[in-house]
Structure 1
């Protein structure tokens, strides 16, 4: 086992047992590691917290943090503001606060019912859809966003590239 694989990248808390059906810990670890590798970040230097919850819990979080008290599929809270001020610009490269020690990239929450419903509606395997959303959430932690058009184009292209490396088709062509 390599040094980058010695400790889990994703520190996970599962509040909804249905996440066990798709092995959220393994799936999220694979997606997060692929995302960091794509961005040329050393996984051993970072950690990500992930909450596997239900729609009720994510609705509360969405209300508290975004003033939208309704369920959503995934939420992210970056530890650092890495976003570019330029539309379509690359985010700043994260640097650990203490070199040689693991540092947090931030937190992600993902809701089972919304993800499961979206997978059925899109005729997508649940594991593939959740993998996409974990990649999406990790990219948010790294400063990517999709509010502005050029930012969305950049973020989606990176998602498609990472998902292809994981053997998952383009979610934007369905």
Structure 2
């Protein structure tokens, strides 16, 4: 894990995503007239477990909710019960316990027990920031990409084989385009 504060170098670039660029295609508004976050009652519970998310993405909950809503609406995927904005430390522990991999990853998804709706998506701040910086993309865009990725996993998509990976990438790009996020699979110039 990176030492606290070491990911703060790209803060200005990390917060350049602006929710006002969204085209308003989804039926439920995210913000009231004052710009406050107003989630739909049918949406997931969004928990900001690691407070530093807000240093990189003001209104991080709104970005996560918007991406989730787009994926659920446009991919006809089920709504997750919870989206947790966490840290590398927590995700590393969960990844080791549940997947046998003793390292952090950008996003983990946990399917609900059989017969229950929902599921859980957990994101690791330091890994998300590091990947966004390496790809020269805004952290908010990468967060939204990974929320869409998690929702698609909960809907049964996977990326183990080349064909599966390509189909999932195309679906992610299609969903992200509906909320104004550039295709993460297209190289930036």
TM range (shorter): 0.7 to 0.9
> What's the RMSD between the two structures over aligned residues?
2.2
How far apart, CA to CA, are the structure 2 residues paired with 1:161 and 1:141? Answer: 17
Shift of 1:3: 8.1
Q: 1:90 maps to which residue?
A: none
Matches within 5 A, 1:1-174: 6-21=40-55, 22=57, 23-40=59-76, 46-79=79-112, 104-174=117-187
TM-score norm. by structure 2 comes to: 0.72
User: In structure 2, how many angstroms separate the alpha carbons of the residues matched to 1:38 and 1:115?
Assistant: 24
Shift of 1:110: 0.1
The alpha-carbon distance between structure 1 residues 9 and 76, as it changes in their structure 2 partners (threshold 3 A), is same
8 Å CA contact retained: 1:105, 1:142 = no
Cα-to-partner distance string for 1:134-170 (whole Å, 9 max, x where unaligned): 0000100111000012211111110010111111111
How many aligned positions are there? 150
Partner Cα distance (1:160, 1:63) in 2: 30
Measured in 1, the distance between the counterparts of 2:80 and 2:186 equals 31
CA distance in structure 2 between the partners assigned to 1:6 and 1:115 by the alignment: 25
Q: Runs of at least 4 residues of structure 1 off by over 3 A? A: 2-6
1: CA distance, partners of 2:104 / 2:88: 5
SS in 1 for 2:62: helix
Segments of structure 2 that go 5 or more residues without pairing to the other structure are: 1-26, 30-38
Residue 87 of structure 1 corresponds to which residue in structure 2?
A: none
Taking the aligned partners of 1:130 and 1:40, their CA distance within structure 2 comes to 20
- Give the TM-score of the pair, scaled to structure 1: 0.78
